[in-house]
């Protein structure tokens, strides 16, 4: 599978490297070791010693230096060998990748490192603006190709069928608009005077009707931000009261993904019991409902090309299909650029 490479992928949460911890994780099919250097900056290098191919993540990291657990070669965050107990260091090194801490998350660039502009990381300032007590984060390994997971979020009508007891019930038949802004694709749902989903009952308790607006904003390749708000039907909407949730999907392999999420809210931000309730609701929806469905889809598709199976296209797929087409176009452009630069595909 060909991935878009010149883009930032979420590689984890910044806190995963707290307290001197290091992290081995497979991203776009490559085994990566992440750790912090002595200044505390995150570093990402290939998780494979060049000597006997031991995973460096099976060694230990101290003061920003990883020492291989097999024969003691040591590397710094640039991938350069800094200690060889058995001879000269010479040009010994492993590959490294640009990696950034931003918005509580780790972002990795798997393409041309010259082009790795941190300014291209999607703006998720809402995460930083939310007190920690109102931020709920998670990492869900999912046995499905990342595009299936992106499809899932880009078409929220699935919530009506897959999540009827929590988030669903308002999307089918809602007024839906798909927009493109730069490289972003946005799907907006508006439902007027509807029965709100159970997740909104604290804001609009039944039998009151609600006006609901949910917007999904996609950034290449797999970052999506959901803004969701409800108010009693007919009342004026306050966008400042929207709950914002990150759904960030990073390919692990052709048939598996890292699903990172971060739920935030602008209200009752110090209510830890509410945070616990929201986390339980999200985990129910993601782990017990989305994940099994996505993995069953993947099992049915197997190694076939998605389009070769001639999926039925419905109006609800507009956003998801635009995302797939936009990705294909960018991946194709990257391929052409590589051929022009290097003379090989």
Q: Backbone phi, then psi, for 313, in 5-degree steps?
A: -100, 130
CB nearer to its own copies: pick between 120 and 293: 293
Query: Least separation, in Å, of the C-beta of 271 and its own copies?
Result: 33
**Residues at the interface with its own copies (CB under 8 A):** 31, 48, 50-55, 58-59, 67-72, 84-87, 92, 148, 151, 155, 157-158, 160-162, 172-173, 292-293, 296-297, 300-301, 309, 311-312, 314-317
**DSSP letters of 127-161?**
HHHS-GGG-EEEEEEESS-HHHHHHHHH-TTHHHH
CB nearer to its own copies: pick between 52 and 336: 52
CB nearer to its own copies: pick between 65 and 316: 316
Query: Least separation, in Å, of the C-beta of 11 and its own copies?
Result: 19
Query: Least separation, in Å, of the C-beta of 86 and its own copies?
Result: 5
- Helix boundaries (H) for 92-213: 125-129, 146-154, 158-162
Residue with tokens 């409902």: 289
Query: Facing residues of 63 across strands?
Result: none
Tokens of 29: 């099919």
Query: Least separation, in Å, of the C-beta of 344 and its own copies?
Result: 18
CB nearer to its own copies: pick between 186 and 321: 321
CB nearer to its own copies: pick between 54 and 233: 54
Measure the CA–CA gap between 250 and 28, rounded to whole angstroms. Answer: 8
Query: Least separation, in Å, of the C-beta of 252 and its own copies?
Result: 15
Query: Least separation, in Å, of the C-beta of 234 and its own copies?
Result: 26
CB nearer to its own copies: pick between 118 and 164: 164
Query: Least separation, in Å, of the C-beta of 299 and its own copies?
Result: 8
Residue with tokens 């899932």: 152
CB nearer to its own copies: pick between 227 and 316: 316
Query: Least separation, in Å, of the C-beta of 4 and its own copies?
Result: 22
Which residue, 261, 183, 172, 263, is CA-closest to 219? 183
Measure the CA–CA gap between 245 and 154, rounded to whole angstroms. Answer: 13
CA of 305: how far to CAs of 16, 130, 300, 319, in Å? Answer: 34, 40, 12, 20
Confirm if 178 and 319 have CB atoms less than 8 A apart: yes
CB nearer to its own copies: pick between 92 and 121: 92
Confirm if 142 and 294 have CB atoms less than 8 A apart: yes
Which residue, 32, 14, 211, is CA-closest to 110? 32
Measure the CA–CA gap between 241 and 285, rounded to whole angstroms. Answer: 22
């Amino acid at each position: 599978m060909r991935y878009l490479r010149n883009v930032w992928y979420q590689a984890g949460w910044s806190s995963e490297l707290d307290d001197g911890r290091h992290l081995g994780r497979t991203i776009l099919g490559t085994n990566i070791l992440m750790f912090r250097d002595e200044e505390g900056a995150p570093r990402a290098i290939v998780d494979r010693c060049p000597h006997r191919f031991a995973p460096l993540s099976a060694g230990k990291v101290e003061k920003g230096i990883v020492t291989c657990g097999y024969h003691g070669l040591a590397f710094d965050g640039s991938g350069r060998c800094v200690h060889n107990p058995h001879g000269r260091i010479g040009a010994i090194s492993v590959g490294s990748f640009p990696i950034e801490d931003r918005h509580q998350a780790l972002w990795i660039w798997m393409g041309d490192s010259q082009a790795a502009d941190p300014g291209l990381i999607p703006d998720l300032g809402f995460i930083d603006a939310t007190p920690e007590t109102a931020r709920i984060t998670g990492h869900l390994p999912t046995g499905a190709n990342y595009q299936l997971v992106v499809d899932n979020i880009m078409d929220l009508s699935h919530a009506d069928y897959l999540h009827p007891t929590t988030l669903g019930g308002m999307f089918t038949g809602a007024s839906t608009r798909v927009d493109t802004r730069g490289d972003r694709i946005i799907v907006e749902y508006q439902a007027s005077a509807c029965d709100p989903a159970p997740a909104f009952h604290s804001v609009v308790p039944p039998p009151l009707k609600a006006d609901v607006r949910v917007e999904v904003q996609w950034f290449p390749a797999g970052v999506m931000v959901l803004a969701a708000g409800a108010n009693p039907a007919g009342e004026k909407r306050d966008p400042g009261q929207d709950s914002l949730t990150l759904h960030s999907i990073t390919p692990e392999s052709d048939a598996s993904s890292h699903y990172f999420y971060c739920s935030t809210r602008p209200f009752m931000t110090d209510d830890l019991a509410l945070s616990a309730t929201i986390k339980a609701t999200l985990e129910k929806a993601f782990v017990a409902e989305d994940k099994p469905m996505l993995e069953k889809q993947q099992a049915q598709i197997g190694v076939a090309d998605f389009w070769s199976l001639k999926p039925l296209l419905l109006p609800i797929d507009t956003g998801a299909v635009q995302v797939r087409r936009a990705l294909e176009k960018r991946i194709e452009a990257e391929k052409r650029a590589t051929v022009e630069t290097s003379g090989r595909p």
